[in-house]
């Protein structure tokens, strides 16, 4: 069986590998512990490098050449794209959602949780996802209706099918880029609650796309983030997790699939049972975006 989105999947994979070459080039040019890409601060602790904009330019050009009618949303804003305010739903057409370097802070520090994330959605639903980490050479791929689920370097993977509660959960939780008091307090209170409930293991990676790929391949049991940066962080990973047997819910609502919206969002992904328990223990977030 082939996915109805096979052509988009093949393009996403080749684009991701090209993006990886560029990322490696910036990284290996450096004789220092930090890589050679010039760094700017977008806001607060949110960084962007010339490598991010370079990768996004190349990726969007290749997609435009292959599918000239499609729209593209890229984190670094290199192209014309559908625009919306925080929380607005996406338009229903064919839209590619690209994060050229997810984990930019990690990239700047040569910390190897870094990935390019290429998602494709149609009718507001993510249909194809490719996440590629060029430093570990791990390529995760999935396309709706393919019949083969999620693949890691060509081999099928599944979510952690064992974890059912926080006590047997390896949780990855990113705290994102907000640094104001209420946000920091709420984020750390949540960590306290999980730890007091006997959480097996707590990790924070600095890459949302990488986290979703790790959930899809069962390398972590669950990923929670209240305040991820934007739809490009999660679009591809949603497909990876769902095709691997998991759920991707909006962490602000019980049992609701994460919807593709502009701006920051809130996610909890993993096997259904462990997601329910992680959300139960965390309680509802109060901060709104």
Catalytic residues: 75, 99, 101-102, 104, 233
Pairing between strand 46-49 and 39-43? antiparallel
Q: Which of 27, 53, 187, 207 binds ligand IPD (CB under 6 A)?
A: 207
- Contact indicator for 132, 19 with CB cutoff of 8 Å: yes
Q: Does 101 show up as a binding residue in the annotation?
A: yes
Residue (5 or 114) nearer to ligand IPD, CB = 114
Query: Which token pair is 6?
Result: 């096979």
Tell how far CA 77 is from the center of its chain: 17
Collapse the DSSP code of 261 into the 3-class scheme (helix H, G, I; strand E, B; otherwise coil) and give the result.
strand
Q: Which of 74, 126, 134, 176 binds ligand IPD (CB under 6 A)?
A: 176
Residue (165 or 171) nearer to ligand IPD, CB = 171
Q: Outline where the chain has alpha helix (H).
A: 6-28, 50-66, 104-108, 181-196, 208-216, 231-243, 272-282
What minimum distance in Å lies between the beta carbon of 46 and ligand IPD? 6
Residue (237 or 246) nearer to ligand IPD, CB = 237
Residue (115 or 169) nearer to ligand IPD, CB = 115
The CA distances from residue 202 to 191, 214, 233, 236, in Å, are 9, 14, 21, 24
- Contact indicator for 43, 24 with CB cutoff of 8 Å: no
Q: Does 194 bind ligand IPD (CB under 6 A)?
A: no
Q: Does 75 bind ligand IPD (CB under 6 A)?
A: yes
Q: Which of 56, 99, 141, 160 binds ligand IPD (CB under 6 A)?
A: 99
Which listed range, 6-14, 62-70, 123-131, 171-179, lies at the site for ligand IPD (CB under 6 A)? 171-179
Distance CA 282, CA 261 (A): 23
Q: Does 173 bind ligand IPD (CB under 6 A)?
A: no
Angle, alpha carbons 275-276-282 (nearest 5°): 85
Q: Which of 8, 56, 233, 276 binds ligand IPD (CB under 6 A)?
A: 233
What minimum distance in Å lies between the beta carbon of 192 and ligand IPD? 19
Query: Which token pair is 267?
Result: 């996610």
Q: Provide the binding-site residues for ligand IPD, judged by CB under 6 A.
A: 46, 75, 99, 102-104, 174, 176-177, 206-208, 225, 228-229, 233
Pick out the residues of the known binding site.
75, 99, 101-102, 233
């Amino acid at each position: 069986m082939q996915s109805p989105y096979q052509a988009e999947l093949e393009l996403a994979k080749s684009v991701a590998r090209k993006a990886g070459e560029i990322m490696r080039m910036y990284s290996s040019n450096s004789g220092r512990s930090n890589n050679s890409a010039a760094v700017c601060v977008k806001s607060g602790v949110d960084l962007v490098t010339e490598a991010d904009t370079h990768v996004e330019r190349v990726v969007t050009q290749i997609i435009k050449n292959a599918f000239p009618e499609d729209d593209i949303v890229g984190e670094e804003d290199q192209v014309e794209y559908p625009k919306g305010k925080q929380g607005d739903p996406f338009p229903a057409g064919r839209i590619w959602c690209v994060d050229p370097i997810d984990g930019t802070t990690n990239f700047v520090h040569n910390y190897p949780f870094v990935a390019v994330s290429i998602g494709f959605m149609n009718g507001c639903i993510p249909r194809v996802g490719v996440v590629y980490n060029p430093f570990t050479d791990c390529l995760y791929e999935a396309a709706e209706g393919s019949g083969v689920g999620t693949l890691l370097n060509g081999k099928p993977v599944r979510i952690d099918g064992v974890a059912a509660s926080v006590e047997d959960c390896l949780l990855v939780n990113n705290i994102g880029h907000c640094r104001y008091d209420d946000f920091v307090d709420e984020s750390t209170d949540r960590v306290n609650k999980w730890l007091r409930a006997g959480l097996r293991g707590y990790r924070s990676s600095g890459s949302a796309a990488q986290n979703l790929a790790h959930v899809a391949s069962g390398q972590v049991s669950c990923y929670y983030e209240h305040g991820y940066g934007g739809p490009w962080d999660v679009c591809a990973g949603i497909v990876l997790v769902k095709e691997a047997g998991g759920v991707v819910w909006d962490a602000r609502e019980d049992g609701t699939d994460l919807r593709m919206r502009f701006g920051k969002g809130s996610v909890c992904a993993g096997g259904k049972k462990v997601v329910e328990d992680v959300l139960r223990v965390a309680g509802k977030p109060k901060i709104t975006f």
